[in-house]
Structure 1
Amino acid sequence: MKKYETEIRVIYADTDAMGIVYHTNYIKWFEAGRNEFLRQIGYPYSRMEKEGIWLPVAAVNCIYKSPGKYDDVLLIKSWVKELGAATVVMAYEIFRKETGELLVTGTTKHAITSPELKPVRLKKVNPALFERLSEDL
């Protein structure tokens, strides 16, 4: 499985009064990693939407290992963990780049739908995207 990498710097607004990353920001950074993953495989959200494919989030899992802090540069690794007929599970690891310390692991499960939020079988309606998502499994 190929892991795609994205970097982000923790800004002051991402932290609490103690200078530690506020926990919900990791979910936001999962999305940033997922967006960059899709862009890197040639299917940014804008292209998927034009082709009638949506990926609404159905579930999120996040396990906190160590706190990120103000001004850390974070490395987000994103990859496809599972690909079903009408679902995809993305996995993530977020590291402190300077030390390589693992801060967070997690997953997001997405329904694969039409713009009307009706489930679609990706292999049938968009075989090229299905192929790109399954290449690194």
Structure 2
Amino acid sequence: MNIKPKTITRGFITAGIMNMSVLIFSRLFNNPVISQSDPDVMSNFGLLMIVIWGLAYISVAKTYHHAKWLILVFAIEKLIYGVIWTMWMFNNSVADVFDKDIMAGAFFSVYGINDWLFFVFFVFVFFQLHFDNKETPE
């Protein structure tokens, strides 16, 4: 499967925007329910780092083909967040989070799905770049 460059660029921008949506769910880092629900990963610092990762995705949207190994790093980062979210879902109740705050509940309902989807996207992009015969030598 080959993804068109324009689609890949849009994917990177979408990944970045999705990460930056944490600003909405967290009410600009003023929603304590998110950090109370997962203080290790979703502290305000952790949420800020999610925004920074989003900016990193956007920063390579048009030059991703020069950053093959960085794309693999993005995939690993998404894998880690996906696994953390899956473990959180098995050990916590998203319904309890919804009872405390609808935005926090919505965040915990979707963030891991987003991470798993973009993990797959970044893996596809990495392998497409890796096996592309038109790639210039490193």
TM range (shorter): under 0.3
- Greater helix share, structure number: 2
Question: Which structure dedicates a bigger proportion of its chain to strand?
Answer: 1
Task: Give the alignment's TM-score, normalised by structure 2.
Answer: 0.25
